[in-house]
Amino acid sequence: MSEDHTHVQEFFGARAADWDGKFPEDGPAFATAVAEFGLRPGDRVLDAGCGTGRALAALRAAVGPAGLVVGADLTPQMLAAARRAGRTAEGALLLTDVTRLPLRDGALDAVFAAGLIAHLPDPETNLRELARVVRPGGRLALFHPIGRAALAARQGRELTPQDLRAETNLGPLLSGSGWEMVSYADEDARFLVLAVRHP
């Protein structure tokens, strides 16, 4: 997508009110991805590009009452939809650009990012920003509730070797931005990549 954040805000802003209703079957996939993420009670986790906050309940359940859950998104309408859905009970919502987070270095234990990577204007630099706010040894999950092929079919496009989320492209991208990929799953029903922050 364009580096012009207005485009992202307009795209998602226009779809925010109906977003959850459009993808009602995604809930279990989010819960499963969070379960596989390996969060622990007391962890501090950011849902980067949280949208309507569909992951917040699962993230809260994983880190427990002693943990910290923050959902960050660039689009006010998405955060408004999260509030209407009552998701502020699961975590704090922050209107911000995840490519320039207002967080100190190493403030978090983990970042969960659902559907985010395709919308990053400069993926290597932006993933480095996510690494900045995570402690060494902390974790990153790049998730989508359907796999690459299914998503491409939904969007009416062909998969190409240049696809950012292909394992051969994503591994080096993560390595160059402060992460080490530890698992890669691209299946019809989910896309989930787990990475660990370099020391």
Q: Is the pLDDT of residue 3 over 90?
A: no
Residues 63 and 106: their CA atoms lie apart, in Å, by 17
Residues 51 and 69: their CA atoms lie apart, in Å, by 14
Residues whose CB is less than 8 angstroms from the CB of residue 143 and which lie 6 or more positions away in sequence, other chains included: 30, 33, 55, 112, 113, 114, 115, 190, 191, 192, 193
Residues 6 and 96: their CA atoms lie apart, in Å, by 13
- Residue 47's nearest CA partner among 63, 66, 25, 65 is 63
Binning pLDDT at 50, 70 and 90, where does residue 16 land? low
Binning pLDDT at 50, 70 and 90, where does residue 20 land? confident
Residues 107 and 89: their CA atoms lie apart, in Å, by 21
Stretch 86-107: mean pLDDT? 96
Stretch 69-91: mean pLDDT? 95
- Residue 137's nearest CA partner among 47, 181, 63, 198 is 198
| pLDDT at residue 2 in the model | 37
Q: In angstroms, how far apart are the furthest CA atoms of the chain?
A: 44
| pLDDT at residue 1 in the model | 35
| pLDDT at residue 13 in the model | 62
* Angle separating helix axes 27-37 and 56-63, nearest 10 degrees: 30
Stretch 179-190: mean pLDDT? 95
Element (H, E) at 36: helix 27-37
pTM here is: 0.90
Q: Is the pLDDT of residue 92 over 90?
A: yes
Stretch 183-187: mean pLDDT? 96
Binning pLDDT at 50, 70 and 90, where does residue 112 land? very high
Q: Is the pLDDT of residue 191 over 80?
A: yes
